[in-house]
């Protein structure tokens, strides 16, 4: 079985260092699984730009995780920007959450299997809604876990993403 390709959204880098968060241990475990080669991990220049806005030494620590764990950084991409605009134009993602749409689009255009985020209020909700809405269109949206429990069990379950089903080909 080939390794799953995960997109790590900005919040994962924060949770890695925030020991008071419920998902801290699960987040660190995920990074360790990435280092062990269980997953191919990706993030983007969009995430790096968000991390660079962090104040203090935590910023450097979060950015250093990318190199430490061998996470591939996907560059700024016109195709992803255009897809994010389409998500907004078609009402799949609200305009005020266009940044979430960019993260979703980066994962989609790079054929990644899953977006991992701790932003349950906005990002997870946006992806969940987008996945429901794109079933009626030809657009692609990767999976996203909808709970911290899923992250805890990530290594114990079979992950999969059927692009044909999302694109209405099945």
The stretch 149-166 carries a mean pLDDT of 37
Q: Are the beta carbons of 130 and 98 closer than 8 angstroms?
A: no
Whole-angstrom distance, CA of residue 63 vs CA of residue 165:
35
3-class DSSP assignment, residue 58:
helix
User: What are 144's two structure tokens?
Assistant: 């996203």
Average pLDDT, the chain: 76
Report residue 92 as tokens: 């799949």
In percent, how much of the chain has pLDDT > 70? 69
| Tens digits of residue pLDDT in 97-125 | 888 888 888 988 898 888 888 775 555 45
Range from 75-79, 115-119, 127-131, 163-167 carrying the lowest mean pLDDT: 163-167
- The pTM (predicted TM-score) of the whole model is 0.75
Instruction: Go through 156-166 and write b for each residue having 16 or more CB atoms within 10 A of its CB, e for each that does not.
Output: eeebebeeeeb
| CATH architecture label of 4-166 | 3-Layer(aba) Sandwich (3.40)
DSSP code string of 71-105: PEEEPP-HHHHHHHHHHHHTTSS-GGGHHHHHHHH
At 7 the three-state DSSP class reads: strand
Rounded CA separation 13/15 (Å): 6
Phi, psi values for residue 67, rounded to 5°: -70, -40
Which of 33-37, 80-84, 147-151 is predicted with the least confidence, judged by mean pLDDT?
147-151
**Cβ atoms 163, 113 nearer than 8 A:** no
Q: What is the mean pLDDT of residues 130-150?
A: 48
- Is the pLDDT assigned to residue 157 strictly greater than 80? no
Torsion, CA 68, CA 69, CA 74, CA 75, rounded to 10: 0
Q: Is 34's pLDDT higher than 50?
A: yes
| Range 31-44 average pLDDT | 94
Query: Is the predicted pLDDT of residue 169 greater than 50, yes or no?
Result: no
Tokens of 132: 């429901």
First to last CA, the chain: 22
pLDDT at 115: 84
Is residue 146 very low, low, confident or very high in pLDDT (cuts 50, 70, 90)? Answer: very low
Classify strands 114-116 and 72-74 as parallel, antiparallel or unpaired: unpaired
User: Is the pLDDT reported for residue 164 higher than 90?
Assistant: no
């Amino acid at each position: 079985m080939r390794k799953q390709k995960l997109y790590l959204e900005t919040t994962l880098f924060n949770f890695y260092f925030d020991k008071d968060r419920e998902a801290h241990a699960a987040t660190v475990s995920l990074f360790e699984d990435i280092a062990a080669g269980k997953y191919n991990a990706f993030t983007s220049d969009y995430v790096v730009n968000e991390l660079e806005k962090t104040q203090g030494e935590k910023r450097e620590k979060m950015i250093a995780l990318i190199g430490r764990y061998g996470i591939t950084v996907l560059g700024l991409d016109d195709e992803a920007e255009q897809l994010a605009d389409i998500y907004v134009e078609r009402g799949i993602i609200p305009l005020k959450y266009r940044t979430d749409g960019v993260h979703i689009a980066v994962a989609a255009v790079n054929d990644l299997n899953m977006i991992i985020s701790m932003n349950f209020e906005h990002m997870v909700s946006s992806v969940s809604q987008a996945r429901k809405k794109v079933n009626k269109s030809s657009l692609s949206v990767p999976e996203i876990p909808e709970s911290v429990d899923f992250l805890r069990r990530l290594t114990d379950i079979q992950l999969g993403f059927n692009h044909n089903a999302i694109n209405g080909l099945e």
